[in-house]
Amino acid sequence: MSTPDKTNLLNLDQQGLKDFFASIGEKPFRATQLMKWIYQFSVDDFEQMTNLARSLRENLMSHCEIVAPEISETQASSDGTIKWLMRLPDGNGIETVFIPEDDRGTLCISSQVGCILNCKFCSTAQQGFSRNLSTAEIIGQVWRANKELACIPRNERRITNVVLMGMGEPLLNFDNVIRAMNLMMDDNAYGLSHRRVTLSTSGVVPEIYHLKEVANVSLAVSLHAVTDKLRTELVPINKKYPIVELLQACREYVKGGPRRKITFEYVMLDGVNDSDEDARRLVRLLSHVPSKVNLIPFNPFPNSPYLCSKAKRIAAFRDILMQAGVVTTTRKTRGDDIDAACGQLAGEVQDRTRRQQRILQMDGKLQ
């Protein structure tokens, strides 16, 4: 539980920590010592940081804290996928998912509580938007997952990739997301390559240009349709930033970077966006953008109006793209035996909470 009058050090990247130490009269190099304790060894007790002077540790204990989101529910799939519902101090819940594969371990994290963009095929969107996550709440998901998976020391880590593809639109929480990504890539923290940190956006065009100026991470774009009419229906932000503007921003983002590509995510919706003509239009759209396509079988959730495309239809769509020279993968379905759709677990818990509140209210009226 966080303390209002204490500084949560997870909110500060390396430069922020150096500035903080300078403000309390300490040498800036203490920042790197502290970062190694926090991120490489998952230590949140200042007393254990034995290479810091006793006076400094006491100062930190008096004025600082290291507080990450707490795990309130865990779902483990038979395929190794783990989904955590993490509870925030204000009672909100966010989701974090660990997906192990033979050659990597990917952690999918959230950047907001809910989402404001209202994409029609997204479970998170049905819950509405509550607020942005702080830097501590974003990097704290990585910290908590590393601790749960016993990834200590860092060279034994199971988390090799981090993707901001969970709840929320990362580019609408720009500053906090940038600080968190800085920590993911800082050698004194998690030391991930910029190629192994991926930000996924629904297409906030001005912030894509801004991102290019301040970060060098991989970019994934939720495209999902090949006409403005359909994309505006599925991804309403398209009305403000239509496909032609989005693709121009994508071209600019990878310009000057050798072998860099944008990953375009395309959810496969039965009879909606999965025809052969859709595939051919997609080829034409991406012909001038260094890109690869990730086809995503739709993961149904309660009250969704959509169904997942049939396996044969997805394969035919993929083959058209690949025959045209577009690097294309089909995302493996993971976590089928748990609440796998993003936002589904948080939504289910919120529904249970509301039901409990209604029951308590009814009990009060009956007494």
Q: Which of 122, 151, 250, 342 is an active site residue?
A: 342
If phi > 0 it is left, if psi is from -120 to 50 it is alpha, else beta; for residue 21 that is alpha
Q: Which of 95, 137, 169, 207 is catalytic?
A: 95
CA 269 and chain centroid, separation? 23
CA distance linking residue 57 with residue 76, whole number of Å: 38
Q: Is 64 a catalytic residue?
A: no
b/e map of 139-174 (b: 16 or more CB within 10 Å)?
A: bbbbbbbbbebebeebeebebebbbbbbbbbbbbbb
Is 342 among the catalytic positions? yes
Nearest to 82 by CA among 100, 94, 97: 97
Q: Treating both helix axes as pointing N-terminal to C-terminal, what angle do 276-285 and 311-323 enclose, rounded to 10 degrees?
A: 30
DSSP state of 308: B
Determine the residue type at 189: A
For residue 4, cis peptide bond before it (omega within 30 degrees of 0): no
DSSP string across 198-253: EEEES--HHHHHHHHHH---EEEEE---SSHHHHHHHSGGGGTS-HHHHHHHHHHH
Are the CB atoms for 219 and 257 separated by under 8 Å? Answer: no
Task: Quote the strand ranges of the chain, DSSP E.
Answer: 7-8, 64-65, 70-76, 82-87, 93-100, 105-108, 112-114, 129-132, 161-164, 197-201, 218-222, 262-268, 291-297, 327-330
**Mode of pairing for the β-strands spanning 112-114 and 129-132:** antiparallel
Please choose, from the candidates 281, 244, 247, the residue with its C-alpha nearest in 3D space to the C-alpha of residue 264. Answer: 247
Residue 106, number of CB atoms within 10 A of its CB: 19
Beta pairing partners, 262: 291
* Residue 44 CA to its chain's centroid (Å): 23
Q: Which residues are catalytic?
A: 95, 342
